[in-house]
Amino acid sequence: MLFGKKSVGLKTVDFDHLPQHIAIIMDGNGRWAKRRHIPRSGGHAAGAETFRNIATYAKEIGLRYLTVYAFSTENWKRPKDEVDAIMRLLHNYLEEALRDMEKNQIHMAFFGDLTPLDPELRALCEKVESTSRKYVQCNVHICLNYGGRDEIMHAARSFAADCTAGKKRPEELTEALFDSYLYTKGVPDPDLIIRPSGEQRLSNFLLWQAAYAEFYFTDVCWPDFKKEHLLNAIRAYQLRQRRFGGT
């Protein structure tokens, strides 16, 4: 854990006031690979390596929550071999996470509808989630087959089902109660959303939770994203004034 202020180049990051929750749209693997004249799967492999490094670093600096967008509900539109390569990388990563859990001490969980995943991968997700639950200091969430609209619809459907079953009444619904039906239940809203690769859009990421998030965009593609880029984003965040609609 890092405390106090630390200079990064000419810039200073205040480690005593880190955002509580950082969310990252891990984008640009394909373009990174194209520039190197290698298959897109090579970009995803490099992106997985970046994720390992950034998750470890997040834990090191004392970040409480890190959420990453790994596979969207729309990413099934991609060629099957690319989807298979991403799922394989994820499978390898989770096996490794299971093996190194004691060393890493990170709680890992998933946001998204895991039902369409390969049953073996799904079981692995569940195992990683349940065995890492005791590591409460650092929580890394992987958005997998995740879509913000899908999440909101899923929540609305579950609430409606509870009303039909007589467990809830429509007039009881508050923002806090609705939160409890989301995949992100119990996790604070992201303070900072980072998107590398130059794109400046949410692409269906955390639509409900992003209401008052700060955004940080960089042209660097995800496989090239280093600790320094994370610190630059945190520093930019620390210079912002958040008003939440107040003065």
What residues are labeled active site?
27, 75
Counting Cα atoms < 13 Å in the Cβ hemisphere of 68 gives 20
**Least distance between ligand IPE and beta carbon 182 (Å):** 18
Q: Residues for the chain: how many in total?
A: 247
Which secondary structure element, helix H or strand E, spans residue 217, and what is its range?
strand 214-217
224 touching ligand IPE, by CB under 6 A: no
Identify the residue among 86, 128, 194, 233 touching ligand IPE (CB under 6 A): 86
Q: Hey, which residues between 201 and 220 contact ligand IPE (CB under 6 A)?
A: 201, 203
* CB distance 6 to 18 below 8 Å: no
197 touching ligand IPE, by CB under 6 A: yes
DSSP-derived secondary structure for 31-70: HHHHHTT--HHHHHHHHHHHHHHHHHHHHHHT-SEEEEEE
Q: Hey, which residues between 11 and 50 contact ligand IPE (CB under 6 A)?
A: 25-31
Q: Which residues contact 30 (CB under 8 A, 6 or more apart)?
A: 40, 43
Partner whose footprint covers residue 196, from ligand IPE, Mg ion, none (CB < 5 to 8 Å by kind): none
Piece of the chain touching Mg ion by CB under 5 A; list 24-32, 70-78, 94-102, 156-164: 24-32
**Least distance between Mg ion and beta carbon 189 (Å):** 24
69 touching Mg ion, by CB under 5 A: no
Identify the residue among 75, 105, 131, 238 touching ligand IPE (CB under 6 A): 75
Nearer to Mg ion among residue 26 and residue 66 (C-beta): 26
Q: Which residues contact 242 (CB under 8 A, 6 or more apart)?
A: 212, 214
Structure tokens at 95: 């096996």
Angstrom CA distances, 192 to 115, 147, 203, 234, stand at 29, 18, 16, 8
Structure tokens at 172: 């009881």
214 touching Mg ion, by CB under 5 A: no
Nearer to Mg ion among residue 74 and residue 100 (C-beta): 74
Question: Which residue is associated with the tokens 């992201």?
Answer: 190
Partner whose footprint covers residue 69, from Mg ion, ligand IPE, none (CB < 5 to 8 Å by kind): ligand IPE
72 touching ligand IPE, by CB under 6 A: yes
- Interface with ligand IPE by CB under 6 A: which residues? 25-31, 69-72, 75, 86, 197, 199, 201, 203
